[in-house]
Structure 1
């Protein structure tokens, strides 16, 4: 067994230390991944590969913020004035110049005419309604400073300004801005390609009959779904037996584009820990993280490919993904977006083991409180399925009363 694996087997880390180790291991991936150009909707949830600069002003022209009258502010002294009503300006046309002594009915978003520098809202006009089309009308308007209710060209973003930096995750708001700027395609980082392997002689595929002592594989579905949600390209191998040679064969049969290997199970200190055995000649550390659930972890490389070994209990493997891999992807690749992390008050008391960061499944309620779902056990899949959040209990906290404030990660 290599020295790194020997030293790693006795190591114990804090949650923060292991999270940083995972982030550091993945830090070189963006440069190697390259990019691809996609239409806007296909880029939803992806991270920009390059900076995007605004090709033009937004809005592209000065326009009215209100339904009202476009005016020359110089025509409205302190006491206001009566002005002749000019032709109306609907949205979507290029209006003629506004002549001195006139006021043009203008709709919200319509282009300001040359010569006009302010808008008087219709509610401030006398009469407070627009005249019939073609009517020879006058309107009484109050004094109005230049710039009132006018959206200047480029007031949202100016041409040449940075719209988004490389690494920005593209959600609906970001795609909307790109569309408003007239952009139809963007360069995004290619998704990370992951090989996911479930291990264990006791595990069989869902849909098959359960012989005595066997369980259906929940981990593969849990993690593949979480990874797909996070924007990864996932290849799931067949379930590996507890034969180290079989597992090594599965890993070496991976596709050439694999950039990360994740396994579940076989990382503890038992007699049949297949992942530990299969990695005996690889620079992989197996260690204990001060976390419940999900303490046993593996990290290193297999044939030069970054490797993470998660525990085998279903809740432990998903918590490991949420605590270590997902945040590292957010930090290094720019996607997925970090989990919302509000603070909420517990509906009940809880206990947590000394020296361990406990992660409990919970539901954030409409009243802003958070209710625990099930106990701390790492096998409670039903409780996990009932939850919409994770509650964090720091390692230096052993008891919390009902009403105590906690950090919550929304799932």
Structure 2
């Protein structure tokens, strides 16, 4: 600890937190949510309740001369029955935008999920204290990115020098919505999910509404996006609608229009990019639902397989190719009166050649290397010169 400075405790409040819609007060401190309380009240899905509380893209941001930072955390770790243990969530500390320290938390609550039985049970556990030492002895901007896939309650923030908020994001705000792939799926850490990588390369400030299993055109998600301050917006649609077998083409088309209409109520002229799914061979031409396959669990793998019948496309069941074609058609139709609306085929981010070199380990989610590839390509195609979201 720096002996020339006083040890101080700073409450975690909204002026220190970025990427969250709401901070819920808990007995342990605050719990960041990526959907506001009114939207959560309209949801009855346990999957969405879990993933919106996982703080993908959420980080503490403050300015300080401290050389030591402590943060009390209470994580909720997931344990899937029949599956190998999941790695602990990673906390990443950045100094002036550059990675400086990584940490994991021990203890915490455990959420045990039985995918076959459809049950989930939480076992309470103790909080932990993260300690980041040896930071540069000068005034600097610090960000602590929370684990993208592990619900985390935040307790006391302690430093050996005073803390003040960083004034404003200083960059254009990019609001993104998508599935578990946008959420971060199997990325190596919170700053290396593909949206975080793309935001860093594109020089924009990320608000990530990637919601694992839950990019389902929910009206409350559209209203959340409508009400969230943003300069640049993207929505990545397709895979969850197919693998949940949620709707048919008849319902899909007006639902997309309604989702975009709602976003436009709050952001009438912001660049808005509609992105279709990356390549996912099991669902390219085969409808959902998608189900876990435990045939290789003894070797530490859970796979996914498509349960639908390709012949059911004639009855309006959705596949990724059907959705891509319809999204492109919708964007062309709307762009005639909305010149700030654009479309990107997700296979430009990850296509057949990428699948050959970096296959989806579980047939559904990209691995850490593929997240890097997707993030780099999105940054180039969307934020690069002439891109639809070029800041």
Question: Could you say which structure has the larger radius of gyration?
Answer: 1
- Common fold by TM > 0.5: no
Indicate the structure with greater helix content: 2
Normalising by the smaller structure, the TM-score range is under 0.3
